[in-house]
Amino acid sequence: MEEIADKGIQVVVGLAIFAAIIGLIMLVVDRAPKSGREKIQVAAFLAPALVLLAVGLVFPALQTSYLSLTNRDGDFVGLENFAWLFTQPEALVTLRNTLIWVVLVPLLASSIGLAYAVFIDRARGEKALKALVFMPMAISFVGAGVIWRFVYAYKGAGQDQIGLLNQVLVWLGQEPRQFLLDAPANTFFLIAVMIWIQTGFAMVVLSAAIKGIPTEIVEAARLDGASAWQQFRNVTIPTIRGSLIVVVTTITIGTLKVFDIVRTMTAGQYETSVVANEMYTQAFRAGEPGRGAALALVLFLMVLPVVVYNARLLRKQKEIR
């Protein structure tokens, strides 16, 4: 009870301090000269946000950067953690797996989502067909991992299989397989889960973009004798290019940060680890916070170009408008 009371007092004091800061800001703005009041008002109200940003983002980033240069005892070791990351076999496997994820997931999820959106556009039962593909988006990555662990479940030969894929193999007269244990194929079976989830997102966004294509353009292409493939290549793709790039970059960022699926299904074992999972493993399981911080910086550097490209694309679209 005393602890709860202390926490309540801390909350009240914090709110009182926050209210005092807001009151001080309003007082300063009210007494400021009229000529510079607007600038002071903007600066005053942005200041708390900038402080929170510095405390919650800038300082942890600097702390992580320094931590990446130390060992488990906190001693400065320079670039030793980065040397480990790019020289040790297990770390190289992690980087290889991450690159495979980044190449395959955005490419396949976007392609399948686009193809599905084109084929069912204005088809009978379009809403129901879209709902079926979009449903995995409502499932958390952990939930999806649990579901697919059952799909890939393995029992020894001669036993009743509870995994869907292995039961199908038995029906076909084949031996059951350990889908999550056999490297490197197990990485591709994990990737399939991510594609299953992200295809619905790609389909919904691209379907909306396709419906936004002016009918006059489509009719003009038909009158000119363009085939279905020519219409898709010369009309649909150029028109929805902006939406397609947004979908690909968004899925790419999500794939680079993938953690839950790998952690739930294999815990990164059997050569399936990716950068985000290995970061957690090194920092909190292996007792190597320096290596975990180095992996975090590498992950940040991998995500940064995609974010910058997406930001530039949105800026260009605003300029066009």
According to DSSP, residue 161 is labeled: P
Who's near 132: CB < 8 A, 6+ residues apart?
Answer: none
Q: What is the pLDDT of residue 85?
A: 87
169-181: burial string, b at 16+ Cβ within 10 Å, e else = bbeeeeebbebbe
Q: What is the pLDDT of residue 31?
A: 64
For residue 35, what are its two tokens? 């000529």
The pTM for the full model equals 0.82
Per domain, the residue ranges of the chain are 2-67, 81-320
Q: What is the homologous superfamily of the domain 81-320 according to CATH?
A: MetI-like (1.10.3720.10)
What are the backbone angles phi and psi of residue 76, rounded to the nearest 5°?
-70, 125
CA-based nearest residue to 95, from 301, 319, 278, 269: 278
The answer to whether the CB of 260 falls within 8 A of the CB of 140 is: yes
Q: Give the pLDDT of the chain (321 residues) as one tens digit per residue.
A: 556 666 667 767 767 776 776 666 666 666 656 656 667 667 767 777 777 788 778 888 888 889 899 988 888 888 898 999 898 888 899 999 999 999 999 999 999 999 998 888 777 888 888 888 889 988 889 999 999 999 999 888 778 888 889 899 889 888 888 999 988 899 999 999 999 999 999 999 999 888 888 888 888 888 878 888 888 888 888 888 888 988 999 999 999 989 999 999 999 899 999 999 999 898 888 888 999 999 999 988 888 888 888 778 777 766 665
What are the backbone angles phi and psi of residue 70, rounded to the nearest 5°?
-125, 165
What are the backbone angles phi and psi of residue 247, rounded to the nearest 5°?
-60, -45
The partner residues of 70 in beta bridges, in order of sequence, read 76
Calculate the CA 132 to chain-centre distance: 22
